[in-house]
Chains A and B, each alone.
Chain A
Amino acid sequence: MPSPAPHTYLKTRAALLAKQLFSPERLQQLLESSLDTLYQEFGMESLAVLPGAESAINRAVERALMHTLMQELGVLLRPLAGEGRDILMHWARKFELYNLKALIRGKLQGHSFADVEQNLFDLPALISLPHDQLLRTENVLELLRQLEQGHYADIARQARQVYEEKNESFSLDAAIDRSYYLGLLRRIRRIGEADRSALHSLVGTLIDQQNLGWLLRYRFNYGLAPSETYYLLVPFGHHLHRDRLLDLVNLETFPQVIEALPGRLSEPLAGVGDLLDLEWRLERITAAQAHHDVRFSASAVTRSLAYLVLREMDLKHLYAILQGKVLGFTEQTIRSALGGTPVKAELRDNGAVDV
C-alpha cells in the first residue's frame, strides 16, 4: 500500500501539470501562431535572435523541449521512492536508448564524431550514457567492446552479431526496444498491487502501439517470416497478448491483420490504409488511454506516467510545428505531418476508443 501523503501530493502535482496538456483547439491555435509568438509563449525568446542555420535552431528547440520534459520528470520524481520512482526513470531511459541506437548506427555507418553527436539528445546525468567515452571510440569493434563492459552488454552482443553477420540494423533496434519494454514490465511486476494493474494497462497500450506497428512493418514492408516477426515483438500487450500475436503474424495481408484485431482495436483502426495512418490512429488510442489515466486512475504513479506520455506527445507536436515554421512550411503541410486536423480521442466506458 503506497503511503498516502506523497501519493496525494503526486496526484495533485500530476493534475496541476495536466492542465498544460494541449487540447485539439490549443494545438490548432499553435498551428496558426507565428514563430515569434511561439518562441515567446514557450520561453525560447533567445532562439528568435539565434544566428546560424535552420538545423542549429531546430536542435536548440529540441534541446529546450527536452529540458522542459526532464524538468517536469524531476518534479514528479521528487516525492517518489522505490519501484514507482524506478518506473518513471526507466520510462525516461527511452531517450537514452534513442541515443544508443544513434551511436551504434552512426558507428556502423562510419559517421564522424561530430555527425553522431549532433543527433544525440542532451540528457540529465541520471539517465545518460557516457557519450563522450563511446563517441571517442575509433571503430565499431572498439565501441562494442566498451558497451560489452557495461550495463548494455546484452545489446552489445546483439550489435556484434548485426555487425559481424547480418548487418541489418532493424533487428538491433528491435532488440533494444524489446529490452526496454521488458525492463518496464519487470519493474511493474515488482510494484505494489495498488499500482500494478493500472500501470499494466497503460504500458500494455504503449506496447500494443509498438507491436502492431512493428508487426505490419516487418511482415509486409521488410518481408520477414512469421517466426522472425514474432520473435521481434513483445508478447505482453494490453489487447495484443501472446496468442493473438501468434495468430496475427501468420496472416498474409495488411487488411487481414487489421480485420483480425480484437474489437477494441479493430473498431478505431477500421479502414486504415497505410502504416503512417495506422501510427497516427494508434497514437490517438494511446493518448485516449493516457488521458483517462491522468484524470481517473487511482494510482498516482500511473497518473504521473500517463502525464509524461501525453506531455511527450505534445512536445513532439510542438516540435513538429516549430520545425515546420522554421523551415517555412505551410500550415497545411505541418497539419498533415501531425496526422490531419487535431481531434481528441476518447476512451469509452467499455474500454473502446473513439478516434
Chain B
Amino acid sequence: MFSPQPMKHVLLQVMTEDLPQVSLILAELQVFGPDYRPFHDSQYRSIPGQRFRELYHRAVSRLQKISGHVRIGSQVALNELHVVREDELEETDRWLGETWDRCSTFEENLRHQSEEQQLLDQLEQALGNFGELNIDLGLLQGERMFLDIRLGMIPRTHVGQLKEAIALANYLLFPYLEHDEMVHVIVVGPKGERERELGSVLDTAGFRPLTIPVELQGEPSRVRIELQKRRLALKQASNREREIARQFASEIRERLEECQRTLVMAEPFVRLDTAVRTGGYTSVISGWIPARDVRRTERALVAGLSNPLHIEVRNPLPEERPLVPSYMPDNRLMAPFATLVKQYGIPRYGEVDPTAIFAVTFILMFGMMFGDVGHGLTIALAAWLARRKLKSFTLFTICIGFSAALFGIFYGSLFGYEGLFHALWLPPLSDPLYMLSVALMWGIGFLLLISFVSIYNRFIQGDLTRAIFASNGVVSTLLYASLLYGIYNLYREGSFGVPAASVSILALAVVLAYKLTETQASAGERMLVAVVETFETITGYISNTLSFLRVAAFSLNHVALAIAVFTLADMMNSTQGQVLMVILGNLFILILEGAIVTIQALRLEYYEGFSRFYSGDGREFKPLRLNLGGTP
C-alpha cells in the first residue's frame, strides 16, 4: 500500500524480424516499460527502425494537422491487430502527405479570402472617411507628372519611424484613418529617381497599397454598390471553398480512420526506440516489468511468436534505483488522490508512496475545517449528480463531502444551525482554544509522521548520512521533539528542563556541524550558510507547526460565516427574505469557503508535508500500450 510495486529488469532476446510483433504483444499486455539507457554489449550496437520512426512521426504530425479540418472519432476501435510493416507505414504517410497538401491549400485560400474581407472592410471605412476629406480625390490616384502619391495601410507601430525614414527621401507621410492595428496613410513626394528607394522602404515597413475605386470621385453610392458586389462574390467563393472542403472531408474520413488505426498499431514499436538494439538477425529489448507480471509476459510472448526467444530477469541493482520506474496504483478509489500527488511529483522507486497518507490526511483535514452535516451531504450529492463531468474525481469529492458530514455530526452543525441535534464532540466556537490545541497536536503528529517517512526514504535509498544528519533526518527530528518537550515543560512547570535543553543543544550542534561539512564554499560563506540554514531548520519546524492552526481557524471561520448569514437573515423583514438569505448564504459558504478550504488543505499537504520527505523526482512506470484514445 505504501511502497510501489516491486519491479524486475528484463532483457528480451528475440529474432530481429519479430520485433514489431513483440512490441504489439507487449503493448497489449500493458506491463512493459522500455528502458532507454545505452546498452553496452558490442554485439548489439545499432538501433533498428530509424526510417520507421521518421515515417511514423511525420505521419502522426500530418494526421494531427488534418484532424483539425476533418473530425475523426475520439476512440479508436481495433477490430483486428496486425503488425504494421514499413511499406504500409510509408503508404500511409504518403497518403496523409497528399491529404495535408489539400487541407493546407484550403487553409491558404481561406486565409486569402479573410485578408480580402479585411481589405474590403478597410475600403468601406476609407470610403466614408474620404467623404469627409475636403480634397479632390482625383488627385490621389492615377499618374501625376511631378508628384508621386501613394495610399495604403501600415501597422500602427511603424508609423513614426517610417515617417522619419521617408523624409530622408524627401517624401511626406500623412495618417488619415486608424483602424485596429493598421493606420491608413497617404505618402506624397516628388516623382523621380527616389521612387524605387521609397518602394523599398515601404515594402520593408509592411506597407499595403490601397486601390481607390475609379468611381470614388464620382458617386460614392455607386462605389458602395461595387464594394457590396465584391463582398458578395467573396462570400460565394468562400462558401464554395468551404463546401469543397466539407465534401473532401466526408470523402476521406473513412481512409483517415484507417490511417489512425495503422498508426496506433505502429506506435508500440516506435516507442521502444533506443530500448531495442540489434546485432543482425537477433535483437535485444530491455525494460521494466512489475514482478507479478513477468510469468504472464513470458507465456504471452512464447505463444505469440513463431521463433524462439530468451528472457533474462533480474532485480534492480542498488545503483539503478533512481532509474527504476515507480508503478503508481491505478485503482478507482486512489486514482484522484494519485492525480493530486502527481501534481507534486512521482515517488522514487522504493520510496513511500504518499498517496494513501495524502488521501487519509486530506479527507480528515477537509472534514475538520468544513464540518457540517448539511454542507457535507450537499457536496457528496452534487458530486454524484455531476459524476459524468467529474469523472475520476467523483469519488474524491464524495469522500470529502462525507468527511465534512461526519465532522458535522461531531460539531452538531446542520447548514450552520447548531443545537438542532446534540454534538457528538463539541461545537467549535464553544471552546476555540481547545480547537486550536487539537489542531496544534494534529500538526505535530503530522510533522513527526512525515519526518519518520523522510528518514525511512533516505535509509531505503542507502543515503545514511542524510537520513541521520540532514534536515528532517533523525537528528533534526530529535531536535524538534526535544524543543516540543522543553516548551511543554515551560508551559506546565515554568522551566525548559535540563534534559530537554541538553538534547536540544546537542542536536543543534550536530545539525550545525553537518551543515558546515556539507556546504561547499569559502570559510566565511560556509559559516554564514551553515548558521542561516541551521536557524532555518528550527524556524521551519516552528512555523510549519503553527501553520496547522489554520485547521482549527477554518472550523471556527465556518461557524462564524454561518452566524453572519443568520444575522443578515434576521435583518430581513419577510420570511421569504429570510429563507432566501439563508439559502444564498449557505451557497456562498459552500462555494467560496469550500474552495478556500480545499486550497488550504492542499497547501498543508504539499508545503508542510511533501516538501519534507518527498523528492518527487521519480519516474512513473509508463508501459507500452495501444493508444486507443484518439489521434496518437
Contacts and interface: CB of A to CB of B under 8 A. Distances in A.
Interface of A: 136, 138-139, 141-142, 145, 154, 157-158, 161, 165-166, 171, 174-175, 182, 224-228, 230-232, 235, 242, 246, 249-250
A226 B161 CA distance: 13
Given A136-B61, A165-B203, A231-B204, A226 B168 contact: yes
B605 to A, nearest CB: 24
Interface string B148-181: 0000000101000110111111010000000000
21 contacts: A138-B100, A142-B104, A145-B111, A154-B155, A154-B157, A174-B204, A225-B168, A225-B169, A225-B200, A227-B168, A227-B169, A227-B171, A227-B197, A228-B165, A228-B197, A228-B204, A230-B168, A231-B165, A231-B201, A235-B161, A250-B168
A202 B235 CA distance: 53
B107 interface: yes
B197 A225 contact: yes
A166 B198 contact: no
Interface residues of B, number: 30
Given A235-B161, A246-B164, A228 B201 contact: yes
Contacts, number: 70
B523 to A, nearest CB: 15
B100 A228 contact: no
A139 B97 CA distance: 12
A227 B187 CA distance: 14
Contacts of B280: none
**Interface class of chain B by DSSP:** helix
Contacts of A165: 203
From A141, A142, A231, A250, name the one whose CB has the most chain B CB atoms within 10 angstroms: A231
B205 interface: yes
B206 interface: yes
Nearest to B198: A227
Given A225-B169, A246-B164, A231 B205 contact: yes
Nearest to B197: A225
Contacts of A224: 200
Given A231-B201, A231-B205, A145 B168 contact: no
6 tightest Cβ-Cβ pairs between the two chains A and B? A231-B165, A225-B197, A227-B168, A227-B169, A136-B61, A230-B165
A165 to B, nearest CB: 6
Given A157-B206, A227-B198, A230-B161, 7 more contacts: A175-B204, A227-B165, A227-B169, A228-B201, A230-B164, A231-B165, A246-B168
A138 B94 CA distance: 13
Contacts of B157: 154, 182
B108 interface: yes
A138 B198 CA distance: 35
Interface in B79-100: 97, 100
Contacts of A154: 155, 157
A33 B169 CA distance: 54
A232 B201 CA distance: 9
Nearest to B168: A227
A197 to B, nearest CB: 23
Contacts of B111: 145
B195 to A, nearest CB: 11
A175 B206 CA distance: 10
A184 to B, nearest CB: 15
A227 B207 CA distance: 15
Contacts of A242: 164
Contacts of B171: 227
Contacts of A171: 204
B451 to A, nearest CB: 27
Interface string B39-74: 000000000000000000010011000000000000
Contacts of B166: 227
Contacts of B205: 231
Contacts of A139: 104
Contacts of B161: 230-231, 235
A161 B206 contact: yes
Contacts of B107: 142, 145
A225 B165 CA distance: 10
Contacts of A228: 165, 197, 200-201, 204
A166 B201 CA distance: 11
Residue among A138, A165, A226, A242 with most chain B CB within 10 A: A138
B593 to A, nearest CB: 29
Contacts of A158: 206
B155 A138 contact: no
Contacts of A231: 161-162, 165, 201, 204-205
A64 to B, nearest CB: 19
Contacts of B201: 225, 227-228, 231
B456 to A, nearest CB: 31
A174 B108 CA distance: 26
Contacts of A225: 168-169, 194, 197, 200-201
Contacts of B100: 138
Given A138-B100, A227-B201, A157 B155 contact: yes
B30 to A, nearest CB: 27
B203 to A, nearest CB: 6
Nearest to A231: B165
B108 A141 contact: yes
Contact of A141 (B97, B104, B167, B194): B104
A158 B158 CA distance: 12
Contact of B104 (A138, A226, A227, A230): A138
Nearest to A165: B203
A249 B204 contact: no
A165 B200 CA distance: 11
A17 B206 CA distance: 43
A160 to B, nearest CB: 9
A158 B205 CA distance: 8
A232 B204 contact: yes
Contacts of B168: 225-227, 230, 246, 249-250
Contacts of B206: 157-158, 161
B198 to A, nearest CB: 7
Nearest to A157: B206
Contacts of B194: 225
A227 to B, nearest CB: 4
Contacts of B198: 227
Contacts of B167: 227
